[in-house]
Amino acid sequence: MGKTSKDKRDIYYRKAKEEGWRARSAFKLLQIDSECQIFDGVSKAVDLCAAPGSWSQVLARKLNENYQEALKEGPASPPKIVAVDLQAMAPLEGVIQLQGDITNTSTAEQIIAHFDNTRADLVVCDGAPDVTGLHDMDIFIQSQLLLAALNIATHILRPGGTFVAKIFRAKDVSLLYAQLRIFFPYVYCTKPSSSRNSSIEAFVVCKDYSPPEGYEPNMLNPWLTEEPCDFEKLTGVNRVVVPFVVCGDLSQPDSDMCYPLNYEGKEYKYHEPVQTPIAPPYEEALLISRRRAEKNVSTFDDSTDFSEIDVEAAIEHENKSSISGIKWALNSASNNSDNQPSTSAKTVQDEDSGEAIDGLQNLYQLDISVSDCSTENEYKDESLANDMKRVLIVSANNDFDNESNTVAKTANDAL
């Protein structure tokens, strides 16, 4: 990008350099004055957060014009302008520079000292935080900066004076307007044409400074100072105490204590909640858990097809040390059968066939319940033997297939 690229993109940036302003923000203050006449009758002004000094340049030019007009009518005192900022700023003719913190009382005292213990006619503030991109954070910091500027303005602004400051027009901006209206009967929100439309930046113009009767300016702001806040020193309109009232009879139960179920001699009886949640946040989790449970139950149901090959393989490998070994043997036997469809489900037609299927189901499920119990070998062997005998006895009593009966009887004799 060349030197002229920004000149093409921003007309006010180009005009500021052509007219000798330090920043394009000078046009914002000039356009506010053209609409609100904030410089009328002003001879003492303060520029808060002044760097790099464009608003101080505008103040110097406008107040000198006022001074020349006043001289035509008679003797007049020269204007005084104080620029305050934490950062150092290049010198400006006719501007007193003060490097300090606007949240400190000492800064306000130094400003008043430069005005010979008098107060300013106008206080302006174009300060803004270094934006982070977190809009809520930026808006909050900007609002606190505005309140800090208002706070110091109550120390240095004369009654009837004018206050101008930058503000972000966010959703809670009405709260700031309400706070400003406590001290100024006239509060306006202005948007100069030199301020980009895409920005939420605006400027509040507050006229006729009129603090509440009995108000004493202070710097008690826990957000912007590390000094302890002694609110006990505040009196009258400066302090609002909200009554704290405890409701209810002291003889009623204490919400922080545990009481027996049979309380006050009344027999306890459980009651369901009057109204259960209609859309609880955990509803989806319960649904997922219920579906998982239903899926696990349906893994072994009466539709499970156990073939004669499965029975023969289980009998043949009854001496395996674990159910997992029998499972492996069953799978191997199933693969060797060339994926032939099961025949026992088609031939078993009486009630005893269901018991044989249940027995094989128990063989599969037993591995889940006792696989981790390596020290209970006797229990596993005994359970396996019982299930095997149960399957064989049921199969032996069924006369639907001679071959299966012969295999069952032979295995039963072996056991």
Residue 101 labeled ligand binder: yes
- Cis amide linkage into residue 79, ω under 30° from 0: no
Domain range spanning residue 129?
11-220
Structure confidence at residue 281 (pLDDT): 83
Asked if 233 is an active-site residue, the reply is no
Q: pLDDT (tens digit, 9 = 90+) per residue, 324-342? A: 555 565 566 555 554 554 4
Of 116, 115, 206, whose CA–CA distance to 159 is shortest? 206
- pLDDT recorded at residue 124: 97
pTM of the full predicted structure?
0.59
Q: What is the pairing mode between strands 157-168 and 96-99?
A: unpaired
- Which residue of the set 166, 207, 266, 346 is catalytic? 166
Determine if residue 328 is labeled as part of a ligand binding site: no
In order along its 415 residues, the chain shows pLDDT tens digits of 456 776 677 899 999 999 999 999 999 999 999 999 999 999 999 999 999 999 999 999 999 999 999 998 888 889 999 999 999 999 999 999 999 999 888 999 999 999 999 999 999 999 988 888 888 899 999 998 999 999 999 999 999 999 999 999 988 899 999 999 999 999 999 999 999 988 899 999 999 999 998 888 877 665 555 666 666 777 777 777 788 888 888 788 888 889 888 888 888 888 888 988 888 888 888 888 888 888 877 655 554 455 555 555 555 555 544 555 555 655 665 555 545 544 444 444 444 455 555 655 555 555 545 444 444 444 445 555 555 555 445 454 544 444 444 444 444 444 4
406 lies in some domain: no
Cβ(350)–Cβ(400) under 8 Å?
A: yes
Among residues 45, 187, 15, 184, which one has the least CA distance to residue 126? 45
The answer to whether residue 108 sits within a structural domain is: yes
Model pLDDT, residue 58? 96
**What distance in Å separates the CA atoms of residue 173 and residue 181, rounded to the nearest whole number?**
13
Question: What integer pLDDT is reported at residue 388 of this predicted model?
Answer: 53
Q: pLDDT for 369-410, tens place per residue?
A: 544 444 444 444 555 555 555 544 545 454 444 444 444 444
Is residue 323 assigned to a domain? no
Q: Is 401 annotated as a binding residue?
A: no
CB 363 within 8 A of CB 326: yes
Strands 120-125 and 44-48: parallel
Say how many domains are in the chain. Answer: 1
92 lies in a domain? yes
The answer on whether 55 is annotated among ligand-binding residues is yes
CA 382, 384, 386 angle in degrees (round to 5)? 70
Residue 180, domain member (yes or no): yes
Contact indicator for 64, 94 with CB cutoff of 8 Å: yes
82 Cβ neighbours under 8 A, 6+ residues apart: 45, 46, 47, 95, 96, 97, 98, 111, 114, 115, 120
Residue 39 lies in a domain: yes
**CATH number for 214:** 3.40.50.150
* Residue 54 within a domain: yes
Residue 363 domain flag: no
The pLDDT value recorded for residue 394 is 47
372 is in an annotated binding site: no
What residues are paired with 163 via a beta bridge?
A: 123, 206
